[in-house]
Amino acid sequence: MEKFDAFYFESYDFDYENLIAKFYYSFDSKELFTEEIDFSNSNIKLRSDLNPSIVENFLFSIHIALWISYYKAFPTKKLYIKSWYLSKDQIKFWKKFYKNWLWEFLYTNKISPDWLFDFENKLTEKNIDPSLLDFNQNEKSLIPLWWGKDSLVSIDMYEKSDFLYDLYVFWKTDPIKQNCADILWKEILLTKRKISDNLIKLNNQWYYNWHVPITWIIAFVMLLEAYLYDYKYLVLSNEKSANVWNTIWNWFEINHQWSKSLDFEKDFNSYIRNNLSSNICYFSLLRGFYEYNIAKYFTNNCSRFFWIFSSCNNNFKIDEDKRLKNTFWCNSCPKCAFSFVILRPFLNTKQVFDIFWEDLLFKKDLENTFLELLWIDWIKPFECVWELEEVVLSFYKIYNLYEEKPNILKIFKQKILDNFSEEYFKNLEKKLWTIYDEDIIPWVIKKTLISDITK
């Protein structure tokens, strides 16, 4: 493995005729990477007053956001910005931004966190023209269509309203997303992504490889989409559990879902207002909801998606040969286990087998995963899962559904159920039905869409 001294943000360019952006990076200006993002969409009308200076402003932020895919191959202390100029406030934002991801990467790969990366500008200071931030946007919403229940709940809420919205997919579509769009009779606004082949080469040479925080990459890419195709609201479907850390290491709370958290959302909107746009609003419609609440809404209102939705990440491996075949659930990972537990209180036996094809509580190889979800093993899986109380309440609700008790329910009774009163669980359920009023959601949307969710 060759060692590198510094990572360089080399440059970027944009083809206005074909709406294709290219972003260039390197290690030591010799190991080169080119990433390509295709923003062309024939089924959505491009805005007529396109301003190249505004586009360039968005492109620079995307350039800084995308680099993590390449930097993680061999983290260096020095980061040199050659494509534009980062202000002190921007550097502060990006350092927090990447620290919240890097800590999990360092922890998992057993890399010392004693150093922190340093951004260094290679160009002279360049201030943003305030007039570039003030452009009008139509009152339309763009909703990322994922594959799990949360985005389908947000979409269902929009379907019941008069708000205009379109579906958004980043990177590539797949049967799950396309079938959901077909059910909704909606077109998909698709942003295509092509990762540098050179990164794949490094991964095959045993350089570091780990998941990337795809949500924040999508967030920055969506901002340019919002400008190009005239959307005011970018509507995510992240909920309360995204705020909960997984473990503490070197006095730092590691949160696998930080880019889905309220902390990120507030910082990100501040960054947008100060650097990109005064009129684009990024928020999570389900921010004040517990997963338990969302699961009940989904089972009551979204049965048309039962046969096609999935929360299993094994559907979406970059290597297509490693993806699931002939099923949407691997039934072996933390995401599958959590999805089963949070939905099971609201599903009858037939629905369980319609969705999962088997009862996961009886799977011996999932027992340790359930113990982790219950925090009996004292570490939350590095996945997009739970608040602990939601899992505890779900197990409590599930317990009486089974005459023949799976072993995990016997452990639950011994370790948790027998140690708490009925009154505790009643109060817990009352708490989990509460919707927390987060001011990140625009008032007009909050007032219209969120009033009936607990009914």
How would DSSP label each residue in 162-230? S-EEEEEEEE---HHHHHHHHHHT--EEEEEEE--HHHHHHHHTT-------HHHHHHHHHHHHHHHHT
Residue 426, pLDDT > 80, answer: yes
State yes or no: pLDDT of 452 exceeds 70. Answer: no
Within 10 angstroms of residue 132's Cβ, the number of other Cβ atoms is: 17
Per the CB < 8 A criterion, the answer to whether 441 and 287 are in contact is: yes
Q: Which has more confidence, 172 or 313?
A: 172
> What's the pTM value of the predicted model, to 2 decimals?
0.92
Instruction: Return the top range by mean pLDDT from 106-115, 174-183, 371-380.
Output: 174-183
Residues 215-235 have pLDDT tens digits of: 999 999 999 999 999 999 999
Position 238 confidence tier, pLDDT thresholds 50, 70, 90? very high
pLDDT top residue among 192 and 314: 192
Please report the DSSP string for 391-418 in residue order.
HHHHHHHHHTT-SS--HHHHHHHHHTGG
> pLDDT at position 454, please?
47
Q: DSSP letter at 453?
A: T
pLDDT one-digit tens code per residue, 38-75: 999 988 999 999 999 999 999 999 999 999 899 999 99
Pairing of β 164-171 and β 247-249? unpaired
Mean pLDDT calculated for residue range 287-314: 91
Token output for 445 = 């949307």
Question: What band does 317 get if pLDDT is binned at 50, 70 and 90?
Answer: low
For residue 406, name the pLDDT band (cuts at 50, 70, 90).
very high
d(CA 241, CA 263): 12
Q: Residue 379: pLDDT above 80? A: no
Residue 165: pLDDT over 90: yes
443 pLDDT more than 70: yes
- Which DSSP state fits 133? G
| Strands (DSSP E) found in 31-162 | 31-38, 78-81, 118-121, 140-144
pLDDT over 60 at 453, yes or no: no
